Amino acid sequence: MPKSIWSRRHALAALAAWWMPAAQAAAESSSPGFDLQPWPRGRAAPAFPATDMTGQAVSLQALRGKVVLVNFWASWCEPCRAEMPSLQALAEREKAQLVVLTINLKESPEAIARFVQSTVLTLPVLRDPLGDTARAWGIKIYPSTVLVDPAGQVRSVVRGALDWAGAEGETLWRPLLRAEPQRTPKR
């Protein structure tokens, strides 16, 4: 084999040996599949459906004292479906201090029931048949999860999917257990 071909092969092999780990490290350290948006100071939590699909009454007022995650989803949304088991696991594991509510966007009761049955979902599901609730909350990306502190104050919105039952999710909701109430600026 001529020396120039051998040298090029070694150079390419060396480049590949350097590039592959660098590309993998870049992919692993790249930004997550979600972003965190602060809730505007002084803006109250909009209303949402007052009952879940089983007829149980639901209100943020009644959930005071617990962190509340309000997850907006749809069964046609692949990231929503992928995220749901972690929300379920988190709600079961942290039920003494946290509640997860889910709000389904524009799907029929039958479609929601099929999804709930196929996934054995036990989280409360509220319906948003026309998308009015999502609009009121400013939700445009699915899934989106609103974080509400124990005082009932909305703190932020997570746009996109993540592992809520893992360390990444815990870094977002656990600090709310110790959160100081937000004060509305005096005018």
pLDDT digits (tens, 9 = 90+) for 14-69: 333 333 333 333 333 345 789 999 999 999 999 999 999 999 999 999 999 999 99
Q: Is 80 a catalytic residue?
A: yes
Task: Evaluate whether residue 163 is within a structural domain.
Answer: yes
How close are the terminal C-alpha atoms of the chain, in Å?
A: 82
Q: Which domain holds residue 8?
A: 1-30
- Burial (CB < 10 A; 0-12, 13-18, 19+), residue 110, is exposed
Task: Evaluate whether residue 187 is within a structural domain.
Answer: no
115-151 pLDDT, tens digit each: 999 998 999 999 999 999 999 999 999 999 999 999 9
Nearest to 101 by CA among 178, 154, 180, 177: 154
* pLDDT of 128: 97
What stretch of H or E contains 120? Answer: none
Task: Evaluate whether residue 113 is within a structural domain.
Answer: yes
Indicate which residue of 77, 111, 141, 179 is catalytic.
77
Report d(CA 51, CA 126) in Å as an integer.
Answer: 7
Residue 172 has pLDDT above 90, yes or no: yes
Domains of the chain: total: 2
Share of the chain above pLDDT 70, in %: 80
72 and 93 part of one domain: yes
Written as six digits, the tokens of 79 are 């990231």
* pLDDT of 170: 96
What is the pTM assigned to this prediction? Answer: 0.80
Residue with the bigger pLDDT between 48 and 159: it is 159
* pLDDT of 179: 78
The phi and psi torsions of 80 (rounded to 5 degrees) equal: -65, -45
93 and 171 part of one domain: yes
Q: Is 162 a catalytic residue?
A: no
56 and 4 part of one domain: no
* pLDDT of 108: 97
55 and 143 part of one domain: yes
- Average confidence score pLDDT of the chain: 85
Indicate which residue of 60, 68, 69, 80 is catalytic.
80
Report d(CA 16, CA 8) in Å as an integer.
Answer: 12
Task: Evaluate whether residue 183 is within a structural domain.
Answer: no
What DSSP string runs through 26-71? HHHHSPPSEEEEEPPTTPPPPP--SB-TTS-B--TGGGTTSEEEEE
95 and 146 part of one domain: yes
